[in-house]
Amino acid sequence: MKYIEIYVKNALAKSKLENTLYALNPYIGCEHRCVYCYAPHVLHINLEEWNSVVYVKRNIPTVLNKELKKKEGLITIGTVTDAYQPAEKKYKITRRCLEVLNKHRRKISILTKSSLILRDKDIIKDMDAEIGVTLTTLDDEKRRKIEPYASSVDERLEVLREFSKTNRTYAFIGPIFPDLIMPHLRDLMQILEDIGVSYVIFDKFRMKKGMKIPESLKDNTNYWTLKREIYRIVRNFTIPFYFGW
């Protein structure tokens, strides 16, 4: 993987996501290489480049510091990249952004597939911060096939366990590939309930033009039927849950 340092003019982008005003992405590109990643298609970046180069926004903490004087509202970190991908171990750009956000006492939300976020618990624990972790299966062999360079299932659950002691947490179960998640859903919900996550979001897989996903993940899922199946399982638990479709 090649790292290229760049200098940006803007730190925060208006977000299209519900419930959040701004998106903060410290990197362009992502080393986790999830086979279902749609970010390069949304950003119109060549897939080969996406999989081989990470652009490091070297000055984003400084730019963010200036922008926060004028911009209010919830900031979500990592909407089209994982802010805790391996590059962060070396560059600590996300950590420096957190220091700035903490200085300005800003409300944030982070979604990740990496246990590297535990490194920054010393900052995050005192912030108005919500921590989300993506889970697509409980079977780590299967996880490795679709999210090869992200943290293991156990490491992700450990992230939720640790942050649930100090922050609001949620599990993002998606994109859903029924064969990977449905056999484990009851067990997973029990684990999440024991951990004490604040809520769970389910989201379906969304195919984008130009995406090439493995044959084994292609199916003709009827998402309305699937929603009913999920509902039948999760209603037996006390955790609030939401659907993205």
- 10 Å CB burial of residue 93 (0-12, 13-18, 19+) is buried
List the Cα angle 77/82/84 in 5-degree steps: 90
Residue range at the interface with ligand SF4 (CB under 6 A); choices 28-36, 56-64, 89-97, 186-194: 28-36
- Minimum Å gap between C-beta 38 and ligand SF4 is 7
Q: Is 124 in the site for ligand SF4 (CB under 6 A)?
A: no
Per rule CB under 6 A, count of chain residues that contact ligand SF4 = 10
Is residue 231 a contact partner of residue 242, using CB atoms and an 8 Å limit? no
- Minimum Å gap between C-beta 213 and ligand SF4 is 12
Instruction: For the chain, give the number of residues.
Output: 245
21: left (phi over 0), alpha (psi -120 to 50) or beta: alpha
Q: Is 37 in the site for ligand SF4 (CB under 6 A)?
A: yes
Q: How far is it, in rounded angstroms, from Cα 227 to Cα 217?
A: 18
- Minimum Å gap between C-beta 157 and ligand SF4 is 17
Instruction: Return phi, psi of residue 225, to 5°.
Output: -65, -45
Q: Is 113 in the site for ligand SF4 (CB under 6 A)?
A: yes
- Minimum Å gap between C-beta 61 and ligand SF4 is 21
Q: What residues numbered 187-216 form the site for ligand SF4, per CB under 6 A?
A: none
* HSE-CB for 160 with a 13 A CA cutoff: 28
- Minimum Å gap between C-beta 194 and ligand SF4 is 26
Which amino acid is residue 32, in one-letter code? H
Q: What residues numbered 216-235 form the site for ligand SF4, per CB under 6 A?
A: none
Site of tokens 């684990």: 191
Q: Is 116 in the site for ligand SF4 (CB under 6 A)?
A: no
Residue 213 CB contacts under 8 Å (≥ 6 apart), including other chains: 35, 36, 207
Q: Is 82 in the site for ligand SF4 (CB under 6 A)?
A: yes
Q: Is 175 helix (H, G, I), strand (E, B) or coil?
A: strand
Q: Is 28 helix (H, G, I), strand (E, B) or coil?
A: strand
Q: What residues numbered 134-153 form the site for ligand SF4, per CB under 6 A?
A: 150
Tokens encoding 110: 């982070």
Which one among 8, 15, 33, 152 touches ligand SF4, defined by CB under 6 A? 33
Q: Is 79 in the site for ligand SF4 (CB under 6 A)?
A: no
Q: Is 159 in the site for ligand SF4 (CB under 6 A)?
A: no
Which one among 12, 25, 32, 116 touches ligand SF4, defined by CB under 6 A? 32
Residue range at the interface with ligand SF4 (CB under 6 A); choices 27-35, 59-67, 162-170, 190-198: 27-35
- Minimum Å gap between C-beta 165 and ligand SF4 is 25
Q: Is 109 in the site for ligand SF4 (CB under 6 A)?
A: no
Point out which residues pair with 6 in neighbouring strands.
Answer: 57
Q: Is the peptide bond before 240 cis (omega within 30 degrees of 0)?
A: no
The site for ligand SF4 (CB under 6 A) is made up of 30, 32-34, 37, 39, 81-82, 113, 150
